[in-house]
Amino acid sequence: MRTNHSVHVNAIKAIPAMFLGLMLIFSTGPAASAQILNDITRRAKNAAETKIKMGADRAVHNALDKAGKAVEKGAKNAAEKAAAKASGSNGAEGRENNGGEWYVSASGSNRNDGKSPETPFKNVQKALDEASDGDVIMVAEGNYTGTLDQGFIDITKYVSLVGGYSPDFSERNPYVHKTYIQTDPSHVTKNGTKASINIEVSGSRAKSVVIDGFSVDRGEQALYMAPSEDPVAGWPEGCLTGRKLMVGESPTGPKVGGAAQERQCVTGHVEGHLVIRNCVFANAVYYGIQMMNKGGKWEIYNNVFVANNYASCQIDSMTKDANECYVDFHHNTVLFSWCRDKIMEDMGYGYRFMSRVDSDVHDNIFGCSNLGAIDFAHHDSDKAVDAKRKLNVVNNQFFMNVADMIIPSKSFMWLHVKCDEFEDVEGLTSESGNVELTDEDFVAKINQPYLKGFANIEKVSSSSYNPNSAANQVRRAFGINQQGTETVRVSMFANKYPFFEAYDLFGALPGCGAQIQ
């Protein structure tokens, strides 16, 4: 994302050399081939040292693919593996791990060995179970709902899970070849208390877990009021559904979907380097991402979060000392972070980080947060530890949030702060370049019925209490609280957002928010 022009130029200059190397491998003997591979390896290593992260990797990868059409398969594979080993891509752009490769395709079979594009597994979980620390799992486009269609996957090793491949693995583009977990009403009784992606990995702060181009939609499994003109439905015209139903709710009227269950898109505990990028997290009833950092440097970037309850992304610390947990949260598009329930009085955050978590929050778009875009309200009881925390909030764009930042108040509970007041917030290590978003082209990429419904939310409360009713007279006689009813109706609350339309938000505002890389 931060690659400069000179880096791209150097990478492009290297492509003809790789192409020539492949031709020479095909036409010369073993000794010459070995020397050529060494040259390719050295060039790829030099490219990696210039920190080419994604764009140049894609250029090299595409060039190798084209060259492969002109040479024998064996020579092509040898050159790709040599280049990948040096650059750290191993066929998966920008990956951090450099181990073995596994392939998964919706048309594959778990009877295959999963070790080549021609013999892919069918289930992602099969590949995760077979993989070792450092391995990369490449996944072709499609919907992957876990072993025996249970609706979740478990990651228990330091691996890279990389989606976005074409069916034949000849191309990777996660915005075109959409790879995801999308559960539906049939999964209500199958996935229990599981999130869609569960990560439980620890043992090394030097190793990496990577999720790249592998998205989650929980909107088909959630429960909603059916679209209806009835005010109970909470349905803005043009939206897919009426309002979302939370656990314990049972209003009258027709409903659509599965069940009211509190489940995350991604959850777990990780020690080490966690990278989550190029993903969509949509319609979660209970957090888009909710993770516990056991010590390590994390990077969450280039993702789209839309229509998640509680918080789009929340990070907690599990370490004892300060500055052991770090999150670089950048170039994300975070929209419609909904409160806990239709009363809309608590939760509803874009990015929420707890005490003992250091964060760089930059170049994100935060819009339509039902409460606060950034939650900076949780501080450590140990003042010395809290004083060491680092928070940089730079170059973010905000629009239509109830608050751009939530902080503690000395006189009340919370303060709602707008972005032009960030300079007065105590505890920020640095802040600059935070502005209100005014780009009309970006706003036009949002689902318009959904945006219009949010902009015109109405909440109506009514109560009924009769102190002279027989029940209340008896309750007074025995010193019991009086009875009454209160009804809250809302015109919209966490309605289902069209999952595939969320991909339209990649690159909607050049340079800020999720980009096409």
Q: Is 40 a member of any domain?
A: yes
Domain identity same for 204 and 329? yes
Percentage of the chain modeled with pLDDT above 70: 78
Residue 318: give its domain's CATH number.
2.160.20.10
pLDDT tens, residue by residue, 172-192: 999 999 999 999 999 999 998
Say which residues have a Cβ less than 8 Å from residue 446's Cβ, sequence separation at least 6.
335, 367, 505
Q: Which of 87, 119, 146 is where one domain is finished?
A: 87
- CA dist 162 and 211 (Å) reads 6
Domain identity same for 187 and 57? no
Q: Is 376 a member of any domain?
A: yes
List the Cα angle 359/360/365 in 5-degree steps: 115
Reported confidence tier of residue 481, pLDDT bands at 50, 70, 90: confident
* Placement of tokens 């380097």 in the chain: 273
- Asked if residue 335 lies in contact with residue 446, where contact means CB atoms within 8 angstroms, the answer is yes
Q: Is 120 a member of any domain?
A: no
**pLDDT value, residue 35:** 46
Reported confidence tier of residue 113, pLDDT bands at 50, 70, 90: very high
Q: Is the pLDDT of residue 31 over 70?
A: no
- CA dist 465 and 468 (Å) reads 9
Q: Is 24 a member of any domain?
A: yes
- CA dist 484 and 462 (Å) reads 11
Of the listed ranges 69-73, 319-323, 418-422, 431-435, the one predicted with least confidence: 69-73
Q: 112, exposed or middle or buried, with CB in 10 Å at 0-12, 13-18, 19+?
A: middle
Q: Is the pLDDT of residue 361 over 60?
A: yes
**pLDDT value, residue 482:** 66
**pLDDT value, residue 250:** 86
Domain identity same for 314 and 420? yes
Q: Is 487 a member of any domain?
A: no
Domain identity same for 80 and 218? no
Domain identity same for 235 and 371? yes
pLDDT tens, residue by residue, 248-257: 888 999 999 9
Range of the domain at 16: 5-87
* Placement of tokens 């300079």 in the chain: 423
Q: Is the pLDDT of residue 41 over 70?
A: no
Mean pLDDT value across the chain: 83
Q: How does DSSP assign 169-190, residue by residue? A: SS-B-TTTS-EEEE--GGGTTT
Mean pLDDT of 337-346: 91
Of the listed ranges 309-313, 364-368, 376-380, 461-465, the one predicted with least confidence: 461-465
Mean pLDDT of 143-155: 96
Domain identity same for 78 and 195? no
Mean pLDDT of 191-218: 96
Say which residues have a Cβ less than 8 Å from residue 284's Cβ, sequence separation at least 6.
216, 218, 263, 264, 265, 308, 309
Q: Which of 87, 120, 139 is where one domain is finished?
A: 87
Domain identity same for 72 and 197? no
**pLDDT value, residue 47:** 38
Reported confidence tier of residue 258, pLDDT bands at 50, 70, 90: very high
- CA dist 89 and 2 (Å) reads 18
The encoded tokens of residue 4 equal 């400069």
**pLDDT value, residue 483:** 67
Q: What is the DSSP letter of 16?
A: H
Q: How does DSSP assign 425-487, residue by residue? A: -TT-SEEE--EE---HHHHHHS-HHHHHHHHT--EEEEEE--TTSHHHHHHHHTTPPP--EEE
Domain identity same for 78 and 212? no
- CA dist 328 and 392 (Å) reads 10
**pLDDT value, residue 459:** 81
pLDDT tens, residue by residue, 201-211: 999 999 999 99
* Placement of tokens 């992260």 in the chain: 53
* Total tally of structural domains belonging to the chain: 2
- CA dist 36 and 504 (Å) reads 42
Percentage of the chain modeled with pLDDT above 90: 67
The encoded tokens of residue 330 equal 């950048």
**pLDDT value, residue 380:** 82
Mean pLDDT of 484-496: 82
Q: Is the pLDDT of residue 439 over 90?
A: yes
Q: Is 162 a member of any domain?
A: no
Q: Is 464 a member of any domain?
A: no
Three-state DSSP class for 44?
A: helix
Domain identity same for 302 and 427? yes
**pLDDT value, residue 466:** 66
Q: Is 389 a member of any domain?
A: yes
Of 30-39, 67-76, 346-355, the range with the highest mean pLDDT is 346-355
Give the residue with greater pLDDT, 488 vs 506. 506
Q: Is the pLDDT of residue 81 over 70?
A: no
Reported confidence tier of residue 383, pLDDT bands at 50, 70, 90: confident
pLDDT tens, residue by residue, 296-335: 999 999 999 999 999 999 999 999 888 999 999 999 999 9
Domain identity same for 83 and 186? no
Mean pLDDT of 216-242: 96
Domain identity same for 297 and 424? yes
pLDDT tens, residue by residue, 262-280: 999 999 999 999 999 999 9
* Placement of tokens 């309200």 in the chain: 377
What is the 3-class SS of 76-137, one letter each residue?
HHHHHHHHHHHHCCCCCCCCCCCCCEEEECCCCCCCCCCCCCCCCECCHHHHHHHCCCCCEE
Task: Tell me the whole-structure pTM to 2 decimals.
Answer: 0.79
Domain identity same for 78 and 182? no
Reported confidence tier of residue 368, pLDDT bands at 50, 70, 90: very high
Reported confidence tier of residue 51, pLDDT bands at 50, 70, 90: very low
Identify any residues that bridge with 73 across adjacent strands, giving them in sequence order.
none
**pLDDT value, residue 78:** 40
Q: Which of 72, 87, 102 is where one domain is finished?
A: 87
The encoded tokens of residue 82 equal 């040599």
